Structure 1
Amino acid sequence: MDKVMSWFTDSLAPGMQRVFGNPWVSAVASAMQKILPFILVGSVVSIYNVFVRYIPSLPDLSFVNTFSFGMMSLIVAFMVPYFGMTELDHPKYEVTAGLTSVTVFLMALCPTVASLAKNAESGLTEYLVTDINYLGGSGLFVAIVMALLVMLIFHLYSKLHVLEGSDAVPDFVIEWINNIIPMTFIYLLVGAAVFVLSVDIVGIIDVIFQPLNAIGQSLPGFLIINFLYVLLYSVGVSAWSLNAIVKPILVAGISANAAAVAAGGAPLYIVTTETIFTTALIAMGGLGGTLPLNVLMFRCKSKKLRTMGKICIGPSIFNINEPLVYGAPIVFNPLLMIPMWINSIVGPLIVWFAMSFGMLNIPAGVNNVSRIPAPICTWLTTDDWRAFIWFAVLFVVYLLIWLPFVKKYDAQLVEQEAKREAEQTAAEASPATV
């Protein structure tokens, strides 16, 4: 076990930090973090819509969701190059690259122009039309690819040092030219592909990412995603680093579910943020199902575990387990890491089969408000009274998985505390020396 822990400490954790610290990956991860407020706005409306089903007289607020969560790809198209320019040390291009990315993203969607009658005096008015679904979760992969392309071109151009500061030319003129050149190249490149060569950029990107999305939406992909989240977390690497890769899959899933329900169909995709986090079935008390651990700590004989149990129970109820993970600790503690890893496999397996066989509703609307205590958030996310039953079942399962490991760890701590107390007592009883 010492060799395994040494490998985690010396090889895995530093290696993962380097991978996720890459400026290109980091830019996407940062963008995914910054869209959280827009997701939360949509989440509030989704929770509100649960009550609308029971009280039909309440007003329809779905337009709020459409123009917050529903604009996610548009926002990501701006955010990725914005953060990318910072990561690549080109701060003067942050806003320009972001806005360029937004416009070429819209260009890549290959919008059509429709003519509508405005009035007899002005005649026909032309409107730019595109599928609004691609501005939300459906277009997330397209937005990221176009954003990375913009990042690359601005980065390469900045390395050329085409125009530098000069006494003969005002700085603002140089800045204009240094923005215009890469922008023009990007517009010509994407525009020629879309409007001259009739390249279906959206179709190509969908084909490229379809295998990744298909794997992510499968049972093995579901288990891998959940295990990686917990594995990274337990070795001190931020689990949110995975968002650059995983978040687009999760968002695409819930977007497709929402669209299916709006069209009168049924949700199909289980692998969503809502299933993993917001239902608090897999992340019960937080990643790794730590709420039952917190409850067990109240019955421990170790002073440390009992004290930490009392301190952490408040956050745990609201599905926040950082105090517990770092305070117990679970991080780099084999006796608590192992059951946390087991929970990250067993919990998702149970949830997958419960939803696959119709024993629990698949989440059908965006809801990232996971800080509501479970099982209330479980019911709100699934809109299913059976959520209370599955919460109880999983609580017991996690409890039984934690129990033998907690007993062993508790016994070790009791022995250590007794040894320290004996040493302290001996030190106090020994005669003072001059």
Structure 2
Amino acid sequence: MNTTVDVLVQKYGGTSLQTLDCVRQAALRVAAARRCGSAVAVVVSARGSRTDELLRLAADVGATEPSRELDQLLAVGECESAALMALTLNGLGVPAVSLTGHQAGIQTTDRHGDALISRIGATRVQAALDGGEVAVVTGFQGVDRAGDVATLGRGGSDTTAVALAARLGASACEIYTDVDGVFSADPRILPAARCLPWVQPGVMAEMAFAGARILHSRCIELAAMEGVEVRVRNASSQAPGTVVVDRPDGQPLETRRAVTAVTHDTDVARVLVHCRDSHRDLAPDVFEVLAAQGTVVDLVARSGPYENEFRMGFTIRRSQANSVRTALHELTASFGGGVHFDENVGKVSVVGMGLLSRPEYTARLMAALAAAGIPTSWISTSQLRLSVIVPLERTVDAVETLHREFQLDRHEPAAAVSTASRQTGTSATSGRSATA
């Protein structure tokens, strides 16, 4: 590897490449980074709604479940984007080559539709960079042990970009999207939400898991493990964006404001399992069913060993409910029990640092929602996240209520902002944080 040249990885999402003009604007940004002396590798998603269009095509011929052939089809979107980006860069006089996941040496596990990256060879990527070319790599895809295309699932292109940055020893991984950065709440539903100049990796991972759609939790977890600095920026502006990085500012944790953001997730189903046989512990069987389908579980509660009936509740993604519905019904029915799915719920989370050590934050959350007349059911607490289940139709109201309760529309004290500015390289006037 050529260690004398700084390597920068940039990733462009679907909305950042939606039109040919968007592709050209992204190419101009790549060219500018290259003129500054960096060797640039670019990771691209499918343009606009291309993946959804391909999924509809597959559904029209009866293919709805993940499979080898569906992955073959879905990979087309990223291949199209990579070729268009490389052609545009070459047209601007910037040498570029497009590479599929296979050509870039991205090896994955064997699970179609939700594979994990196991290794990146990157031989051709590094050769392109050493030869003065921009390497444009397809996100979201790699090849499994059989040599077949395997897609990485939700957030896959972000994960590709971070993994490639780690493999190349890049100085940073810039994620370009259609918003100015990471916000204290979803700005599409809450105009008072503010862009955060920095977010700690652990907090960002919790925000992503709890519903913030800007980055996927797998991407941030990988960045934290590999020491990759992630920057989230708007592809259509020069806004400084958000840096996902630890901030060793010397300020004790106990005296910092604890809350960073409020997130929400409407892709939620609440599942209730019960069995009259109190001597049968169905929990291991339930989790085996969920694990077999790669179903993500949150907010788990269950009955104790001395109760008359086995009962267990948890939340999963509503979009994954159909994949486990039949198996859970068959499991519980075989022991004289049943399962109920409630899909009319949303999850709202307060995310920050040291929340479990401050029980007053849980009290404030519950009191604020009660005062607003918003019913709550299950609640989960940890050092990084307080999550509560609310009726689906009150989800936005709950976000607004908690954003106001924890004063996330207010600036962080000037001293803290100044420290964040030194860490991220932004000015004190542009570097704002929304902690409370």
Q: TM-score range by the shorter chain?
A: under 0.3
TM-score normalised by the chain length of structure 2 = 0.27
Asked which structure has the greater CA Rg, the reply is 1
Higher helix share: 1
Larger RCO (CA within 8 A; separation ≥ 6): 1
TM-score normalised by the chain length of structure 1 = 0.27
